[in-house]
Amino acid sequence: MPEFLDADPRILALTVFGLGLMLAVSLEKFLARFWLSLPILYVAIGYALASLPLGFPNLNPSWDGFDAATLEYVTEFIVIASLMAAGIAIDRPVSWINWSQIWPLLAVAMPLTIAAVAFLGWWAMGLAPASAILLGAALAPTDPVLARSVQVGPPGENKRHDVRFSLTVEAGLNDGLAFPFTYLAIAAVGMTSLGAWTFEWAAFDLVFRIAVGCAVGWGVGRIGAWYVFEREADAPREEIEQEAESADTPKYSTSEGLIVLGTLLTAYGLAEVFQGYGFLAVFVGAVTARQRENRSRYHKISHHFIDQIEQIVLVAVLLGFGAMLASGVLDALTWPAALVGLALIFVIRPIAGFIAEFRSALPLAGTIAIAFLGVRGMGSIYYLAYGQNNAEFAQLQLLWATVSFTILVSILVHGVVSGPALSFVERRRGHIHAGHDETMMALTPEGRRVEVEDTGVRE
């Protein structure tokens, strides 16, 4: 190696990371012209650099407990940041009817996916029951991190897009709802039969923890919104409303984003302290705060702030995932495992999603798009790392190989297909529920039909 390239790997890593940050925005726009996504390129760069003799350390959680712990903490933070950004971007008022297209994805598509993947893991891959359940729990949730290209835009866009809305909210909620099944897998380690522990799991992990996560998220979101709009904002309401229409005299600066970040991290921590699900608390808290003073530009500024944080961590994670692939994490992959990953992307998720949305008012093209565009990503790595760090699972190398392969295929397939698919659906007006137009229409919690203008509501 030339002497001028004989640098400390740490310095090389910082250099690559810096270049990745500098070029992220321009590359994302450039790649979009060719229906490609940034994750495809950055994973490839990470793989190429880790394959060269530059002295980068191996990153293989399947045999290194330190790597597994590091991945758990890093992916935990980026999922939190992504849930914040997704929650703040949701313009639509919250009500059972208003979000009716979401519930089947959570109550039908997700359990079907977990059951199908766990069964194939046990039957086709020969996994132990606990490992098969962990595989299903890790691969079931759609990912808020790598699904940026199919999610709703920043708050205040004033355009109805039921496909993007469904995919965004699904990713925001099911990243927390996968936790009960991860705990089920942990509890099943060493168990040979059903017993009282299954009822304890259903009552505590499935019901109590979800309820606590939602309650903490709602409470902290309400308090955070009060803190911003009542205590901190010294302008009267009229000035706040004028601010929504004027970009020349903004009331808030990006420093106010620190309040949002602090509030939602507090929601995560409190939910975990009280034995709830922190991911749920973050998303519920972000959506709750978003409903307050919904015409204010503050929400758009906050979203931009959180989005920047997410992109910073995302660059590091994508390069790291490429390095993980180069370290040999796929060496344990078998043909049955690869077929299970392919079945999830091309068969299980599309069928489960279509069944869930079959009665939806969306046109067929929109329903198929929701069913197919279930991106897998960093959430799956987090859940698998969490499981590894909290129990002794058998066939761990095969689990990591299967999850890594599935994420890689999802990055390639969904990264290429999502752009053209959404464009096709939009041309056929399949992205809007029957009876609606592209102006945001919604139902208030009281059931009144309203039109959402910017991020506000008018009758």
Residue 353 neighbours by CB under 8 Å, 6+ apart: 105, 109, 370, 371, 372, 374
**3-class DSSP string for 24-90:** HHHHHHHHHCCCCCHHHHHHHHHHHHHHCCCCCCCCCCCCCHHHHHHHHHHHHHHHHHHHHHHHHHC
pLDDT score at 27: 85
Task: Give the pLDDT score at 446.
Answer: 42
* Domain architecture of the chain: domains with CATH: 3-458 (1.20.1530)
Q: Give CA–CA dist 294/306, Å, rounded.
A: 18
Q: Which two tokens stand for residue 15?
A: 């250099």
- What is the model's pLDDT at position 436? 59
User: What is the average pLDDT across 277-282?
Assistant: 95
pTM above 0.85, yes or no: yes
279-294 per-residue burial string, b: 16 or more CB within 10 A, e: under 16: bbbbbbbbbbbbbbbb
Q: Count the Cβ atoms, other than its own, within 10 Å of residue 326.
A: 20
DSSP classification of residue 254: G
- Residue 146: is its pLDDT beyond 50? yes
pLDDT band for 193, please (50, 70, 90 cuts).
low
Q: How confident is the model at residue 240 (pLDDT cuts 50, 70, 90)?
A: very low
Task: Please give the full DSSP string across 160-181, using - where no structure is assigned.
Answer: --HHHHHHHHHHHHHHHHTHHH
Q: Could you tell me which of 16, 36, 38, 17 has the C-alpha nearest to residue 26?
A: 38
pLDDT, tens digit (0-9, with 9 covering 90-100), for 415-457: 889 888 888 888 888 777 765 555 554 434 444 444 443 333 3
Q: Tell me what the pLDDT averaged over the chain comes to.
A: 83
How would you classify the pairing of strands 441-443 and 449-453? antiparallel
| Distance, first Cα to last Cα, the chain | 69
